[in-house]
Amino acid sequence: MTPDRSSSVDNYEKVLVALRRVIRATDLHSKRLSKNAGLTAPQLLIMRSIRDLGEVTIGTIAEKVSLSQATVTTILDRLEHRKLVYRVRSTRDKRKVHAHLTDEGAEILARAPNPLQEDFIKKFQSLQEWEQTMILASLQRVANMMDADDIDASPVLDVGPVLREDGWKETAQ
């Protein structure tokens, strides 16, 4: 018995449409966040970490948001330039630098919508364990099929420029 070709075509098209919807939802949320709060998702997560953790080091922030210390430092540079955060060297250990929110940063953070992944996490955690495992396995397989196994990614849902291996930005069409 030969497989029904129309069924497999429909299925792969449905998968591609579902992937596009996920990408589009992430893009729309990022645009809404940028418009409403003037922040990117990683900036919002870093500012929330600073608020939630109090006097916090860059390394601790990086660990909390699953980004490299270099990336967190770059984002903090931008936030500091906008006067949303400030950094202070520790008086007890001069090697450590602590990040703090400014009053303006706290105000913007209070008005900002929840990061997309927070809503996702709540819904995902409400699923039964077998459903969570099935989704994880399926998405890992899709990532593999798209040759994305070696792409470094954090759990921050954000759309932005993609850096190629040579460091140049690729723009999405």
CA distance 163 to 160: 9
Give the model confidence (pLDDT) of 135-153 as tens digits: 999 999 998 998 887 776 6
Say what the pTM is: 0.66
Handedness of CA 39, 40, 45, 47 (dihedral sign): negative
Bigger pLDDT: 105 or 156? 105
Domain coordinates of the chain in residue numbers?
1-37, 40-113, 114-149
Q: Is the pLDDT score of 83 beyond 80?
A: yes
- Assess whether pLDDT exceeds 70 at residue 172: no
CA-based angle 51:157:18, to the nearest 5? 150
What is the C-alpha to C-alpha distance for residues 168 and 156, in angstroms, rounded to an integer? 21
Backbone angles phi, psi at 94, to 5 degrees: -60, -15
The architecture (CATH level 2) of 40-113 comes to Orthogonal Bundle (1.10)
Residue 80, pLDDT above cutoff 70: yes
